[in-house]
Amino acid sequence: MPNVQEMARLIRQDIITMLAAAKSGHPGGSLSAADIIAVLYFSEMKIDPQDPNWPERDRFVLSKGHAAPVLYAALAERGYFPKEELLKLRKTGHFLQGHPDMKKVPGVDMSTGSLGQGFSAAAGMALAGKIDNKAYRVYCLLGDGEVGEGIVWEAAMAAAHYKLDNLLVILDYNGLQIDGPVQEVMNSEPLADKWRAFGWNVMEVDGHDIDELTASLQAARNTTGKPTIIIAKTVKGKGVSFMENQVGWHGNAPSKEQAEAALAELKGGNNNV
Amino acid sequence: MSEQQIDWKNIKKIATREAYGQALVQLGEDNPDIVVLDADLAKSTKTSDFAQAFPNRFFDMGIAEQNMIGFAAGLAAAGKIPFASSFAVFAAGRAFEQIRNSVAYAQLNVKIAATHAGISVGEDGGSHQAIEDLALMRSLPQMTVLVPADATETKQVIKAAAAYQGPVYIRMGRLAVPVLFAENYQFSIGKANIIREGQDAAIIANGLMVAEALKAAEVLFAKGINTTVVNCASLKPLDKDTILKVARQTGAVVTAEEHNIIGGLGSAVAEVLSENYPVPLYRVGIKDTFGESGSPEELLQKYGLTSTAIIQAVETVLKRK
Ligand SMILES: Cc1ncc(C[n+]2csc(CCOP(=O)(O)OP(=O)(O)O)c2C)c(N)n1
Ligand SMILES: [Mg+2]
């Protein structure tokens, strides 16, 4: 398996390249989740790109569906479809939809885009795993603005009620939504306390630290009787200096020039790619 | 009147959501009871204009559309005039049952101003393209449903909605669309406007399809077919008198809307005609399918929401006359 950190760097480059080609889409929340997604797809999850619908596979639901580019990049890098397809993101007639579509994209386990609903469906998948006595795990990525949706808390309550310890949620805690910082738009603090009060096993990690993420996922496997949420502190736009922590880069694609600058930065890391 | 030609190449284009933002600021100045709510999409729905002008009367509810409508109901019950905005998929869809029970059933004075309706949303794709919102809203007793065609009409629709006492759903778009009407244009709730006259067939449209209907009428005129064009911005209450009048005058009707052909304008017109004065009818609209990602222009082509589709529809109904 390739180096996860290196994969995260490639995924970030793919995100920039495909958004520049699409001329629309969401860079901020895609970049903030790149390390999380790299860990899931290149170390944590039991999946088979040759058999996307393998019944025993681990599932992943991108509840914050607008971050589709980070998922598509991981799927392409993992071999679900050729990387060239990424350049046709959001184009008429192409299978890579603006938001994940399970009927069109191999490797997408749930159609998302309407915030809050993906998490609820992920919990349903975990319940099915319990009913069938299956070993697969269900992973889900939530946004920190997304937790404003009531359904998030309805699902949280139900997942704890049904003791879904095969469900693992990662919260992309980047502090920003569209209209501004989460704390200013609709404060959700204290977040960790809320999840604990809802009966969840809660861990707090640096969402850009591959080792910390890997270790916490490992620890979650050993937690029984309750679902786990990893609150991953991230930087929206991570890896591209002019996008980092900028609310304006939530849903705007980079121009050609901006993409070149971003790619230069992303490629200029430790080892040359 | 039928020779009327619009300079489509140079016509000014403004998105109806832009006009909404401006209209809200005007309303805010005129009436201190106007309050505005949004669900983390203020920059897109353009309620940000109001937020800037009247920060104390703007409330961002976060990503929580159901709660936004609940709050709006409460604000209205206590005497405010709330405008609540989000994308149409989430405003009409996510919060549907709150709208049903807390707004329509309770007959409260809430204005649901939804933007980004229809497939002209474009690249965000099918999950974000409301093709069913009008069917949902039209099926609710007490609800008034308005679909402005351009920026001029949007401003009048917003003003009329604020002046009207009761629940109103207003459907607006993301895409910049031609400004068809001059400032002296007159919108009123419950009235359809005949904007072009001809005796061969009638095209009844709303939203961005009104411009396509006018384009179609010009092409048909050159072919010797004279059509009436009706702008039916008031989907509910529906102007039955005008619909029946143009049906009697022409004997053939085409409807055109950026919505599923089930439950929207085409259905509403079919209901009136079939019970009162059946004539050949063809419904131009989205043919009971979800949208997809793509540029708005390509999608409108692909899903048959063009003047060409209207022309073909008119030729079809004329054969059945
Ligand atoms: C139900 C619903 N309401 C509104 C939106 C529009 N929307 C898309 S992304 C977004 C903000 C998301 O913020 P957050 O969850 O913090 O995501 P991130 O910062 O990770 O991008 C909003 C409001 C949506 N997709 N779904
Ligand atoms: Mg966020």
Nearest to A96 by CA among A82, A117, A116: A82
Assess if residue A158 is contained within a domain: yes
The pLDDT assigned to A269 comes to 60
Distance CA B193, CA B210 (A): 11
| A24, A94, A149 member nearest B63 (Cβ) | A149
Residue B2 — very low, low, confident or very high, per pLDDT cuts 50/70/90? low
Q: Is residue A272 part of a domain?
A: no
- Give the lowest-confidence range in A20-24, A73-77, A118-122, B3-7: B3-7
Q: Which two tokens stand for residue A92?
A: 């008429």
Q: Which own/partner pairs from B237-240 qualify as long-range (CB within 8 Å, at least 24 positions apart)?
A: B237/B144, B237/B189, B237/B190, B238/B190, B238/B192, B238/B268, B238/B269, B238/B272, B239/B190, B239/B191, B239/B192, B240/B272, B240/B276
Band (pLDDT 50/70/90 cuts) for residue A1 is low
CATH number of the domain encompassing residue A89: 3.40.50.970
Peptide bond into B141 cis (omega under 30): no
Residue A250 and residue A28: Cα distance in Å, rounded?
5
- Give the containing element (helix H, strand E) for B71: helix B65-77
Picking from B36, B40, B305 by the largest number of A CB atoms within 10 A of its own CB, the best residue to mutate is: B40
Q: Which helix (H) or strand (E) holds B43?
A: helix B42-45
- pLDDT tops 70 at residue B248: yes
Residue A183 lies in a domain: yes
> Does A148 reach chain B within 8 Å, measured CB to CB?
yes
- Three-class SS state of B192: coil
> Mind telling me how many Å the CA of B74 is from chain A's nearest CA?
18
The tens digit of pLDDT for each residue in B300-317 reads 999 999 999 999 999 999
Contacts of A255 (CB under 8 A, 6+ apart): A20
Look up residue B90 and give its DSSP letter: I
Residue in A37, A64, A179, A249 to alter for ligand 1 test, most ligand atoms within 8 A of Cβ: A64
Q: What confidence category does residue A2 fall into, taking pLDDT thresholds of 50, 70 and 90?
A: confident
Q: What is the mean pLDDT of residues B44-62?
A: 98
Local structure of residue B246 (DSSP, 8 states)? H
> Quick check: A114 and B60 CB within 8 A?
no
Q: pLDDT tens, A121-167? A: 999 999 999 999 999 999 999 999 999 999 999 999 999 999 999 99
Residues B80-96: what's their mean pLDDT?
Answer: 98
pLDDT value at residue A268: 86
The reported pLDDT for the residue numbered B4 is 77
Longest dimension (CA), chain B: 59
Site residues for ligand 1, CB cut-off 6 Å? A 28-29, 32, 64, 66, 113-116, 143-146, 172, 174, 176-178, 236, 250; B 40-41, 63, 90, 94
* Contact assessment for residue A41 and residue A48, using Cβ atoms and an 8 Å cutoff: no
Q: Is the pLDDT of residue B319 over 90?
A: yes
A273 located within any domain: no
Nearest CB to A97; choose among B64, B93, B292:
B292
Q: CB B124 to CB A113 under 8 A?
A: yes
Comparing alpha-carbon positions, the chain A residue that sits nearest to B46 is: A179
Q: What does the pLDDT average to over B152-161? A: 98
In a domain, A166, yes or no: yes
Q: What percent of chain B has pLDDT over 70?
A: 99
Q: Is the pLDDT of residue B77 over 90?
A: yes
Residue B153 is among the residues annotated as catalytic for this protein: no
Contacting B residues, span 39-78, partner chain A, CB-CB under 8 Å: 40-44, 60-64, 66-67
Domains of chain B: 13-178 (3.40.50.970), 193-319 (3.40.50.920)
Q: Which two tokens stand for residue B250?
A: 């022409």
Note whether A119 and A169 are within 8 A (CB). Answer: yes
The full DSSP string for B263-274 is TSHHHHHHHHHH
Q: Is residue A75 part of a domain?
A: yes
Whole-number percent of chain B with pLDDT over 90: 98
CB contact under 8 A, B292 and A185: no
Chain A positions touching B299 (Cβ under 8 A) are 92
All residues of chain A having their beta carbon less than 8 Å from the beta carbon of residue B97 are none
Cα B38 to Cα B69: distance, rounded to the nearest angstrom: 10
What confidence tens digit (pLDDT) does each residue in A171-206 have? 999 999 999 999 999 999 999 999 999 999 999 999
Q: Determine contact: B96 vs chain A, CB below 8 A.
A: no
Under an 8 A CB cutoff, do B294 and A114 touch? no
Q: Write out the residue range of the structural domain in which residue A60 sits.
A: 4-267
Q: What are phi and psi of B144, to 5 degrees?
A: -100, 135
ipTM: 0.96
Is the CB of residue A98 less than 8 Å away from at least one CB of chain B? yes
Long-range Cβ contacts of B75-79 (<8 Å, 24+ apart): B75/B35, B75/B37, B75/B110, B76/B103, B76/B108, B76/B109, B76/B110, B77/B106, B77/B108, B79/B33
pLDDT over 70 at B25, yes or no: yes
Q: Reply yes or no on whether the pLDDT at A36 is more than 50.
A: yes
What CA dihedral angle connects B179, B185, B189 and B194, to 10 degrees?
-90
Q: Which of B38, B62, B127 sits opposite A113 (nearest CB)?
A: B127
A-chain residue closest to B301, CA distance: A92
pLDDT tens digits, one per residue of A242-271: 999 999 999 999 999 999 999 999 998 644
The distance of A43 to chain B (nearest Cα, Å) reads 30
pLDDT digit string, tens, across residues A97-108: 999 999 999 999
- A272 has a pLDDT exceeding 70: no
Q: What is the average pLDDT value for chain A, to the nearest integer?
A: 97
Q: Quote the minimal CA–CA distance from A143 to chain B in Å.
A: 11
- For residue A25, the distance in angstroms to the closest alpha carbon of chain B comes to 7
Q: What is the pLDDT of residues A51-67, one digit of tens each?
A: 999 999 999 999 999 99
What average pLDDT does the structure give for chain B? 98
Mutate to test the interface with B, among A112, A151, A177, A178 (most CBs of B within 10 A): A178
> Least CB-CB distance to B60: which of A98, A150, A186?
A186
Q: How many domains does chain A have?
A: 1
Examine residue A152 and state whether it is found in any structural domain, yes or no. Answer: yes
Q: Does A99 touch chain B (CB under 8 A)?
A: yes
